[in-house]
Structure 1
Amino acid sequence: MSLCFLRGYSSPRCSSSGWRGPATPVPAGSIGVRSMGSARRRLGPGVRFQECVEGCRAPRGPGPARGASADRLPSPALQSWPDPLALLAPQVLCRYQKLWNVQLRLRPALIAGIMKDSGNKPPAMLPRKGKYLRSDLRLQGEHFQVPIRFPKDFFSVILEKGSVSAMRFLTALSMQRPELLEKVSRELWMRVWSRDEDITEPQSILAAAERAGMSAEDARALLEKTATPQVKNQLMETTEAACRYGAFGLPVTVAHVDGQTHMLFGSDRMELLAHLLGEKWMGPAPPVLSARL
């Protein structure tokens, strides 16, 4: 459902702890990570990823030649299948953003366009995968400490309703109020995959925005912008960028490290991302963070 972009420097602006239980969730979609420094070492600038949301602050100064970045992307403004797993990797990155000294950025994304462009199919469309998905989601929810509950009308949510309206709202939010993007994205994901609530109707989107801290007036004004060419084009541009990187589903992480590009697919690739960035992996819910809460 959305793209995350991380850029690391000494004083990240993002929220500190991500989600540690039912009280706080996070978005779905594509991810980008750029590591520019850490308490242990300073890294030089990574490859610039223009498609990633909100624009980035430059690192404080030059460092060794090494630069690292990873980028998570979305899909075209066609029909979208909301993805229950697309939340997990962004959520983990929210938990690690201070531990790894990175800035997390979220970029709204649709998955249907990526599927169509790559010729891929949603797992639920394949009988054996669909049967496996229910038990797999339950275990992944426990492992990642993210409450996941199947919607009663699962196939309607996945294949009919989609999430285009919600993703356009998040795109508009990323352009106008990026500081609220993480919270609203989480709330929209939670409506579908934890509370079995709608995210397609205007009132549903407004309810999610207000629950995440937006005023009713601001949320309504932003909703009106979702029909503008600027918002639609921005969502399409991010989608096309995902396809250029070779995405075939979500979540996807594209890491630029030492002049090489690595594409990582799935929420279970965060350990490999840590390896690429030269950071320590402590599981999806790091104990260091738990001790601080």
Structure 2
Amino acid sequence: MTRKLEFFFDFISPFSCVAFHALPHQLGDLTKQVEYRPMFLGAVMQATGNRPPGMVPAKAKYLPQDIQRCCRRYGITFRMNPHFPLMNTRPALRAACALADRPDDQKRFIETVFHHVWAATDPLNIEDREQFAGILKQAGFDPEQVLAGAENEEAKAQMKANTDDAIARGAFGAPSIFVGEELFFGHDRLDYAREALEAG
């Protein structure tokens, strides 16, 4: 049976955005073995006693230059979202869960949201339903369908299950990457994750 790489992420995490774009660079043809698992980072942090890097003054000073450096490596633009960190990403995460049975659409949706949250010249206020609908329409989605999916009880349950699963398996932040039961934290551990995939 082909092994899979489970990619646990939250749109609120800029390093999840970096990791999403790093996946094809690091995995190549193995990218098709990625399973995207949206989780609510706030619940993970609370359950594990972790806290955002921005709350540590030295890290807060370091992170802006570090994330720009990481983005340059993968050829992506990064702009700090003025709505960060007060962003309720749960509806968008649930929408991503609702698209799980359409993997190509799900991946394109994730890419669209990451771009508009962390790269667009007019950063997305993810809680503004009208603005959100606008970027979805622009990307070729049916906004009503996607937004309805975000309110689907099955999608809500799936996001909670993803979050609980990540916590139970040892995740403490985002992105959290699993190959089997082995955890790899952060975009800069994808080479190790690739080795685990190749080992079968």
Residues 1:186 and 2:111 are matched in the alignment: yes
Q: Residue 184 of structure 2: which of 264, 270, 279 is its match? A: 264
Give the secondary-structure state (helix, strand or coil) at the position aligned to 1:72. Answer: strand
TM-score (norm 1): 0.61
Deviations 1:16-42 (A, max 9, x none): xxxxxxxxxxxxxxxxxxxxxxxxxxx
Structure with greater contact order relative to length (CA < 8 Å, sep ≥ 6): 2
Q: Residue 170 of structure 1: which of 96, 100, 124 is its match? A: 96
- The residue type paired with residue 183 of structure 2 is M
- The residue type paired with residue 267 of structure 1 is H
| Bigger helix fraction | 2
Q: Residue 13 of structure 2: which of 64, 71, 83 is its match? A: 83
Residues 1:202 and 2:129 are matched in the alignment: yes
Distance 2:29 2:50 in 1: 35
Report if aligned partners of 1:184, 1:208 keep a CA contact under 8 Å in 2. Answer: no
Q: Identity of aligned pairs, percent? A: 23
Q: Which runs of 4+ in 1 moved over 6 A?
A: none
Aligned to 1:227: 151
Q: Residue 132 of structure 1: which of 55, 62, 70 is its match? A: 62
Cα separation, partners in 2 of 1:275 and 1:81, compared to 1, 3 Å: closer
Aligned to 2:196: 276
Distance 1:102 1:178 in 2: 10
1:2-17 mapped onto 2 (5 Å cutoff): none
Distance 2:152 2:32 in 1: 32
Residues 1:246 and 2:187 are matched in the alignment: no
Tell me how far 1:164 sits from its aligned partner.
1.4
1:51-90 mapped onto 2 (5 Å cutoff): 68-74=3-9, 82-90=12-20
Distance 1:276 1:183 in 2: 26
CA RMSD of aligned residues (A): 2.2
Distance 1:213 1:81 in 2: 20
Cα separation, partners in 2 of 1:101 and 1:126, compared to 1, 3 Å: closer
User: Which has the larger Rg?
Assistant: 1
Cα separation, partners in 2 of 1:81 and 1:69, compared to 1, 3 Å: closer
Paired positions, count: 197
Tell me how far 1:272 sits from its aligned partner.
1.0
Report if aligned partners of 1:72, 1:242 keep a CA contact under 8 Å in 2. Answer: no
Deviations 1:81-103 (A, max 9, x none): 70111022232223455533743
- The residue type paired with residue 24 of structure 2 is C
Distance 1:205 1:174 in 2: 19
Distance 2:145 2:4 in 1: 34
Distance 1:103 1:272 in 2: 15
